[in-house]
A and B are shown apart, each in its own frame.
Chain A
Amino acid sequence: MSYLASISQGAVHTPYTVPTPMMDALQVCLLVLVAAGATAVVLIRVPVRQVLALSLYGLLLAALFLAFQAPDVTLSELTVGAVILPVLVMLALAKVRAQGSGHPSGDKRERDP
C-alpha cells in the first residue's frame, strides 16, 4: 500500500505548450459549443438535418477530447461519431424513404413539424 501511495504522490502531469489561461479559454469555449451542439441535435426534428447536426456534434466532441489531452479518444470519436454513425443513420433513412415513396404520407417527414 505504501508503494501505491508513493507512486500517487508523484503523479505525471504533461504541461500544456501554450499558456494555461489560453488553454482554459479554449476548453470553456469547446464545452459551451458541445453543449449547444447536443441541444441542437435534440431540437432539430428533420431527420436528414439532424444527421448533419449529429456529424458536426461528433466533430466538436473530437475537438473537445483533443483539448483535454485525449488524442486516442479524439481519433475514435472523429471516425465513429463524425463519419460512420451519420452514414449508417443516413443509409437507414434512405431505405425508409425508398419504402415510403409512392405512399401519400411518404413526404410528410420532409416538412418541419
Chain B
Amino acid sequence: MSVRTRTWVFLAGIAGLAACYVWALTGLPGFGNYPGPYGDILNHVAVAQTNATGVVSAINFEYRGFDTVGEEFILFITAVGVSTVLRHLRDEHEEPDGQEALTATGPESSDTLRQATILFIGPVLVMGWYLGLHAQTSPSGGFQGGVVLATAFLLIYLAGQFLVFRRFSPVAIVDATGAIGAGGFAAVGVAAMLQGLPYLDNFLPLGTVPGAVSSSGTIALISFFVGLEVAAAFVLMVSELLAQTLLVGGRR
C-alpha cells in the first residue's frame, strides 16, 4: 500500500471515529446529572441496611462483594505472575557477593533523603492501618490502606537499606500474608454459606451505632483481609523487581 493510499485510509478511519465520538458525546447526560437509579437507591438505604457510613465500602464489600472477590484475585494472580516471571532463571546467577557489594558500592542515599524517609515510615504505617480498618466509617478501605502499607516498605528501601527491606519483608511471610488476605475474603463468603445464607451475606452483628468502628459486620472484616492481601501483593512485586534489578546479574 502506498503512502498516499495509507493516508486516505487513515483519514477515512479518523473521520468515522470522530463522527461516532461526537455522536456519543451528544448522548451523554448533562454534567453532574446522574441518570441511573442505583446510586440514589444506595444513598438512601445503605446506611440503614449495613450501619456503615462509608457507603463506598459498603458497596464494594457488601452489595457487589462478589465482584470485589474477583478483583481481589486479579491482583493476587498478578503478584503470582510477577514473582513467577521474575524468579531466578537457570542461566541467571545472583551476583557473587552481591549483598556485600551492594552495601559497599550500591546506590547511596543522601542523608537528607534518608532522614526524611525514616521520619515518614512510622506515620505512613499508622496511616495505612487507619485506612484499612476504617472502611466502614469514612472514605478509605482495605485497598487504599494496603497500598499505603506497601509504600512504608518502599520507604525503608528509599532510606538506603535494601537489605533491611528484605529483612523486614521475607518472601515467605509476605507470601503467607497475601494468601491469608485473599483466602480470608473468600472464606468470609463460605462462612456465610455454611450458615445457609447466600455467599458473602453479612452474617456478623451490625452494631448499633452507624459509623462506629465496631459496626457494619463483615464489611470491616473483609476490608481488613483486603488490606493484608493488597499490601502483601505490592510488597512482593516491588521486592521481586528490586531483587532482579540489584542482585541478579545478566546471563552468563
Contact = CB atoms under 8 A, between A and B. Distances in A.
A84 B150 CA distance: 9
Interface in B160-188: none
A107 B179 CA distance: 42
Which 10 pairs, one residue from A and one from B, show the smallest C-beta to C-beta distance? A71-B139, A79-B147, A75-B144, A91-B241, A12-B43, A72-B56, A95-B245, A72-B139, A94-B245, A11-B40
B148 A79 contact: yes
A88 to B, nearest CB: 6
Interface string A59-101: 0000000000001101110011001100110011011001100
B154 A83 contact: yes
Interface string A33-52: 00000000000000000000
Interface residues of A, number: 23
Interface residues on B, range: 20 to 34
A11 B250 CA distance: 60
B40 A91 contact: no
Contacts, number: 64
Given A72-B140, A72-B141, A87-B238, A99 B41 contact: no
A12 B37 CA distance: 12
Interface string A5-42: 00110111000000000000000000000000000000
B190 interface: no
10 contacts: A7-B37, A7-B44, A11-B40, A12-B44, A72-B56, A87-B238, A91-B238, A91-B241, A91-B242, A94-B245
Contacts of A74: 139
